[in-house]
Amino acid sequence: RCRRGSSAGKSAASCGAQIRDSAPAEHCDLQPVTADPPITLSYTTSTVLQGCVSRRSMYTGHEVHVLSIQWSKTPVPMLNVSITPRADDCTRQTVLILQCPQCSASITSPCQNLLIHTDACLSPKVKSMELPEAAKGDTLDWVQSTYGGITSYSKLKDPQRIHLHLGENSSSPPNCILQKDFDATPHLEAEVLFREVKGCTSSSAHNARAAHIVQLLHKPSLPITEVNLTLSCPEQQLNNQILLLQGPANLTWILMLNSCSLNFLVRSCTCPWGRRKGSCWPTRSRASSPKGFKWGVLTQTPRPLPAEVPRKLPVVTTLSAPSTDLMFRTLLLLLRPWKCTDDTMEIVIARSHLEVRADVVNITLRDISCQAEKNATHFMLHTLLSNCGTWLESHGRANNELIFSLSTGLVLQSVRVAFQCPIPRELFLRLFPTADFKAPQTELEVNKEVFVQASMHLEDYPADLQLKECYLMAPGMEPLLLVQGNKAQSSSVAMLEEPPSNRTRKVWRFRFTYTIPEGRHVPFSATLKCKAGLQNNTIFEKVLEVKVKDIWRPPNNQGLGLSAVLGITFGAFLIGALLTAGLWYIYSHTRPISKLQPVSTTAPASESSSTNHSIGSTQSTPCSTSSMA
């Protein structure tokens, strides 16, 4: 047996032997540990005992995944199964068949329409159906006859966690044919308990040193060049412990220790974050390895400790200096700064991540003419998937390289890091102002023709894939159907000739003119929504928010309501009436006095007699003359 208290947690290690500090090395006959092992061992893998995938479920109404679990020892631990839909899309119903007799399982998924068949005890209780007896025999035949197709089948041994990624691949084989040591990447990743622990003790355990061995055996079918090892130690641990790492030649060990104080005996140890007292210490509080290592087969060979093991192990072990290539490769695997659509690739890297490692002068892709733009904070690359030396691989991945030009004194050093950018299997929508379909925009101008492109990246897409419908929705207005079944549904819409498509990309194009009915106000935003799918009701949906622009309306004009218009009209009338009254008041009090007083018809007495006399004499003259005559 092994001394208790070495390391516990998520690590890939096995118990070896105890060595006395001053005694010669003794023969160690490793035997299986039957009692509770002194350490908890687990490893992450996507390789299953048996497995297969197929595309037949794509032509049915369900996506079907089968998990068959085996256990080597009892008691059986709790099995945790997490299910993640692609792009958070739960529109397509998923069927999970979990074969796990006499075990408890926890199944978590954001999809409410998940259908579960299982013989396990689910905790917490979720809606499920009992696995029929027919399914416990030939599971594949039962699934085929019940659901018409199967997406994936995986048989695992001693898993404690399973992460299942939903999604179907049209490039998968038509039938699910079981294969041994099947690579279930990218739809499954499991954390598996390692229960083949072996150990021994020396003849005297007094003042002995506990030794723990991690041995990775070489397997040509699963070539491994790099191992990420994470150890988590308890708070109260023994200090006189050593860790021995064994593996094939040219194997790099990347260590991450969580509160562990151990001495190492290793062939080579490379740590991209520096070293301290013979062990690798992370600079960030991250308990898991930066790169999820995919173990193929991990076994223990019952061999004694090598005779050349020194009687006294040094406290400080010299570690090989980390290479620049490894530092940048590990950094990019942590950051994953690339993002792809069905025809573009974008890479953004913060300069702060690079300054502590080297003086990066420039970054290019495999085609060195594709250079990154840079500002004070970031390096940025944007290119089409058909440019810059990018080639498309199976399973929807774009392959390229990032080339870092480093300044080391007077010499420029080049570091190349290959990467794979996953291409989402979803529908993309873009709006263009011209028929050349360049420079997409998010503005929709009233009474002006615009061009729409809908596209999908699908490997070997079926012939019945079509653009189901596209329509435009605006607040307060009825949805405007533009396209249905690849046909225009309005006189203002016209389908355009599709560009030459390859076997991995499908493109639809049409143009339309957006008009506003008479008497309706112009909305400030609208939603363009399109659906593409197959005859088996597999639907891909995309929504594009656009801003509506009216050339007759000033920018940022929010418009006026009826109440505001009536208020302004009444206010203008009231101001006009008050202004008119004010002007009349001023006019009536400022005109000349002579015009204000009426002409008097009664003169004063003195003046009246004189006047009357004058008038009388004047008027009597003709009479007098007449009399005289």
pLDDT tens per residue across span 382-393: 999 889 999 888
pLDDT of 155: 95
The residues facing 397 across adjacent strands are 393, 422
| Burial class of 84 by CB neighbour count within 10 A (0 to 12, 13 to 18, 19+) | middle
* DSSP summary character for residue 158: S
| E strands in 394-552 | 397-408, 411-422, 427-432, 443-445, 449-457, 466-473, 480-484, 487-488, 493-495, 505-513, 525-533, 539-549
Q: In what order do the strands lie in the sheet with 159-165?
A: 42-45, 188-193, 159-165, 79-84, 104-108, 121-122
State whether residue 420 is helix, strand or coil.
Answer: strand
Cβ distance 432 to 453 under 8 Å?
Answer: yes
Residues of the chain with pLDDT under 70: 1-28, 34-39, 201-209, 218-223, 234-240, 249-250, 256-323, 356-358, 409-410, 459-463, 501-503, 552-560, 591-629
State the Cα–Cα distance between residues 297 and 280, nearest whole angstrom.
25
* DSSP summary character for residue 203: S
pLDDT of 193: 85
Pull the structure tokens for residue 89.
């899309």
414 — phi, psi (to 5°)?
-115, 135
pLDDT of 8: 32
Amino acid at 252: T
| Burial class of 596 by CB neighbour count within 10 A (0 to 12, 13 to 18, 19+) | exposed
pLDDT of 87: 74
Cβ distance 413 to 477 under 8 Å?
Answer: no
Of the candidates 42, 105, 47, the one whose C-alpha atom is nearest the C-alpha of residue 77 is 105
Pull the structure tokens for residue 35.
């009692």
| Burial class of 236 by CB neighbour count within 10 A (0 to 12, 13 to 18, 19+) | exposed
pLDDT of 264: 64
State whether residue 587 is helix, strand or coil.
Answer: helix
The DSSP bridge pattern shows strands 115-118 and 31-32 to be: unpaired
pLDDT of 38: 60
Cβ distance 69 to 100 under 8 Å?
Answer: yes
Torsion region of 148: left, alpha or beta (phi above 0 gives left; psi -120 to 50 gives alpha): left
Q: What value does the CA radius of gyration of the chain take, rounded to a whole number of Å? A: 43
The residues facing 309 across adjacent strands are none
**Cα 175 to chain center, whole Å?**
31
pLDDT of 221: 63
State the Cα–Cα distance between residues 314 and 318, nearest whole angstrom.
10
pLDDT of 411: 72
Amino acid at 312: K
**Cα 212 to chain center, whole Å?**
40
pLDDT of 382: 93
Pull the structure tokens for residue 353.
């991540």
- Residues 335-378: tens digit of each pLDDT: 889 999 988 999 999 988 887 556 888 999 999 999 999 998 99
616 membership: H or E segment, kind and range: helix 605-628
Cβ distance 333 to 268 under 8 Å?
Answer: no
253 membership: H or E segment, kind and range: strand 252-258
Unique residue bearing structure tokens 């905790």 = 123
| E strands in 140-240 | 152-157, 159-165, 179-183, 188-193, 198-199, 208-215, 226-232
Cβ distance 530 to 484 under 8 Å?
Answer: no
- Residues 13-25: tens digit of each pLDDT: 333 333 333 334 4
Residue 92: count other Cβ atoms within 10 Å of its Cβ.
Answer: 22
State the Cα–Cα distance between residues 447 and 553, nearest whole angstrom.
13
Angle at 208 between CA 203 and CA 213, to 5 degrees: 95
State the Cα–Cα distance between residues 422 and 393, nearest whole angstrom.
10
The DSSP bridge pattern shows strands 188-193 and 208-215 to be: unpaired
Q: Please tell me the pTM assigned to this model.
A: 0.43
Please state, rounded to an integer, the average pLDDT across all residues of the chain.
75
Is the bond preceding residue 38 a cis peptide, omega within 30 degrees? no
State the Cα–Cα distance between residues 515 and 526, nearest whole angstrom.
13
Residue 504: count other Cβ atoms within 10 Å of its Cβ.
Answer: 19
Cβ distance 4 to 197 under 8 Å?
Answer: no
CA pseudo-torsion sign 529, 533, 539, 540: negative
Pull the structure tokens for residue 132.
């029929």
Residues 6+ apart with CB under 8 A from 213: 13, 14, 15, 16, 243, 244, 245, 246
Cβ distance 154 to 185 under 8 Å?
Answer: no
SS (H, E, C) 163-177: EEECCCCCCCCCCCC
Cβ distance 317 to 223 under 8 Å?
Answer: no
pLDDT of 616: 44
